[in-house]
Amino acid sequence: MRIYNTLSRRKEEFKPLEEGKVKMYVCGPTVYNLIHIGNARPMIVFDTVRRYLEYKGYDVNYVSNFTDVDDKIIKKANEEGVSAEEISTRYIAECKKDMEGMNIKPATTHPLATQEIGGMIDMIQTLIDKGYAYVVNGTVYYRTRKFAEYGKLSKKNIDDLEAGHRDEAHSLKVTGEDEKEDPLDFVLWKPKKEGEPSWPSPWSDGRPGWHIECSVMSKKYLADEIDIHAGGEDLIFPHHENEIAQSEAANGVPFSKYWMHNAFLNIDNKKMSKSLGNFFTVRDISKEYDLEVLRFFMLSAHYRNPVNFSHDLMESAKNGLDRILTAVDNLRHLSENAKDVPMTEDEKKIIASIDDIYKKFEDSMDDDFNTADAISAIFELVKLANSNSSSDNSKEYIDTLMKKITTLTDILGLKTDKKEEMLDEDIEALIAERQQARKDKNFARADEIRDELLAKGIVLKDTREGVRWSRA
C-alpha cells in the first residue's frame, strides 16, 4: 500500500511504526458555525482512509479534535451575548449531527482544546527550557529560526519568508507592536483581552496559540511520534509546519511519518466564499440531498485533486449512488423469495469471477486511496449482479452477491439499507403536530419534527399557502 507523503512529495510504501497498528491524527473544525462543504471533504476522505486501513486488518487509533477556543468563536459569542463555551458546545453538537448524516465514524477520541490546556502549558514550558521559546510581556513566542528544518513540509525557504515579513515588521516597529526577536516567530501563548476566556499560566492569564493545541492533543492521545497526520492542504503552512517545529523541538523525535492533505473544493469553478454568495453548509445540502450523496460525490474524485461542486455534478452523483442502492435492493427482494438450496456450479463460477473485481478495488485503494477507481470497480460488480441474478437463483448465491457489494460500499462508508418510506398520512400528522407546536411557541419541538422528517428523507418548505413537503 502506497501513500503520497506531502513531506517527501512522493508516494511511499506504508509501513506503520508499530506492526498492525495505525496512529492517525486529523485536524478537526473550529466550531463557531455550521460546518461547510469544504470542512466536509477532509472528514469524508480521512474517514474512508481509516475504514480501508481497518478493512486491511489494522487497529486504527483515530484522533480528530474540535478547536473550541478561537478568535472567531469569541467574536460570535460577543455578537450573541453568550459565552464562548455556549457557542462551541452548540456547534460541536450540530457538527456531530452532520457527521452522522455523512456516515462518518466517531473518532476513537474527539479531544477539545479547552480541556487540554494543562498539557499545552507543559509543552510550552519545555520549549522555553530548551531555548526554543521566549516570553515578552506575558506572550510566549516560538523561535522559528532555531528549528533548523523549518519549512521542510511546505518546502518554503526561511529567507524568502523573511523577505515577505520585512515590510510587515517595519510597520509594526512604527506602531510599537514589535515585541518579537524575529518577524517569523509565532505565538504559543497570548495574554487575555477584556471579555475573553482565559486560563492561568506561569506567563499570564491567557490562552494558547492555535498551533500548539494539535501538537499537544496528538502527543497525549497517540504518541510523540505518529503514523499519519492529515488535513486540508490549506493547513500545510503555517499550521502543520508550526506543529512540526513545536513537536519535534519539544519531543526530540520525528512528529509524523506520513503527511496527507486533501485538495480544495471549488463551487462552479470558483473558490467558495461568503462574498461570492456561493457558500454552502452541509446543512444546506441536506435540505436537497441525502448526505450520502455528498459523500459519494466527494469520493468520486481523487482526494489530492481539486473537486468542483455543482448542482449537475451532485445530480450525477445521486444517480450513480441510486444505481448501487437499487442493485442491492433488487437482490434483497430476490433473496426474500429465493429457494434455499446450495449454489449451482455456474453460480459458484460467477462468484469466483468477482475476485478480479475485488482486486481492482483493492489495487485502487492501495494506490494512495484512489476512491474514484474503487467506485468504478463497484459499478462493475453492480453490472455483474444486475445481469446475473433472477428469481431462479439460489438464496445462497443472491446473498453472497449482495454481501460482495455491501462489503465494498461499507469501506467507502456508503450505506445500502434503504430508508423505510414513510406513509403520506404519517407525514401529514407530523406536519400538523409541528404547526401546533409553532402556535404554542414550542419551537424546539417544531425543529425536532423537522429534523425527524429530514432524517427520513422528507423535506419541508414553509410557503405562504402553508407547508409543502417532498421526498428528498
Q: Name the residue type at position 107.
A: A
Angstrom distance (rounded) from CA 124 to CA 132: 9
Query: Among the listed ranges 27-41, 190-204, 264-278, 374-388, which one has the minimum average pLDDT value?
Result: 264-278
Angstrom distance (rounded) from CA 238 to CA 205: 25
Query: Which tens digits make up the pLDDT trace of 236-257?
Result: 999 999 999 999 999 999 999 9
How confident is residue 452, by pLDDT bands cut at 50, 70 and 90?
confident
Domain definitions of the chain by residue range: 16-262, 312-411, 424-471
Distances from the Cα of 432 to the Cαs of 287, 457, 467, 472, in angstroms? 20, 18, 9, 20
Please tell me what DSSP assigns to residue 157. Answer: -
Question: Parallel, antiparallel, or unpaired for β 59-64 and 21-26?
Answer: parallel
Closest CA to 303 of 357, 354, 265: 265
Query: Which tens digits make up the pLDDT trace of 325-372?
Result: 999 999 999 999 999 999 999 999 999 999 999 999 999 999 999 999
Q: State residue 59's pLDDT score.
A: 98
> Percentage of the chain with pLDDT > 90?
83
Q: In whole angstroms, what separates CA 453 from the centre of its chain?
A: 25
**Sheet harboring 307-309: ordered strands across?**
270-271, 265-267, 307-309
Architecture of domain 16-262: 3-Layer(aba) Sandwich (3.40)
Average pLDDT (115-121) is 98
**Whether residue 462 has pLDDT greater than 90:** no
Helices (H), 305-423: 311-337, 345-366, 371-387, 395-411
Domain topology for 312-411: Four Helix Bundle (Hemerythrin (Met), subunit A) (1.20.120)
**Whether residue 310 has pLDDT greater than 70:** yes
Question: Parallel, antiparallel, or unpaired for β 265-267 and 307-309?
Answer: parallel
Query: Among the listed ranges 94-98, 169-173, 249-253, 278-282, which one has the minimum average pLDDT value?
Result: 169-173
What is the value of pTM for the model shown?
A: 0.88
Angstrom distance (rounded) from CA 213 to CA 64: 12
Query: Which tens digits make up the pLDDT trace of 120-162?
Result: 999 999 999 999 999 999 999 999 999 999 999 999 998 888 7
Query: Which tens digits make up the pLDDT trace of 152-206?
Result: 999 999 888 877 665 555 444 444 457 999 999 999 999 999 989 999 999 999 9
Helix, coil or strand: residue 13: strand
Q: State residue 167's pLDDT score.
A: 53
Q: State residue 335's pLDDT score.
A: 96
Q: Which three cell numbers stand for residue 460?
A: 419541508
Query: Which tens digits make up the pLDDT trace of 398-423?
Result: 999 999 999 999 999 999 986 666 77
First to last CA, the chain: 38
What are the φ/ψ torsions at residue 215 (nearest 5 degrees)? -55, -45
Helix, coil or strand: residue 415: coil
Of residues 470 and 352, more confidence is placed in 352
What are the φ/ψ torsions at residue 44 (nearest 5 degrees)? -70, -45
Return mean pLDDT, the chain. 94
Average pLDDT (315-322) is 96
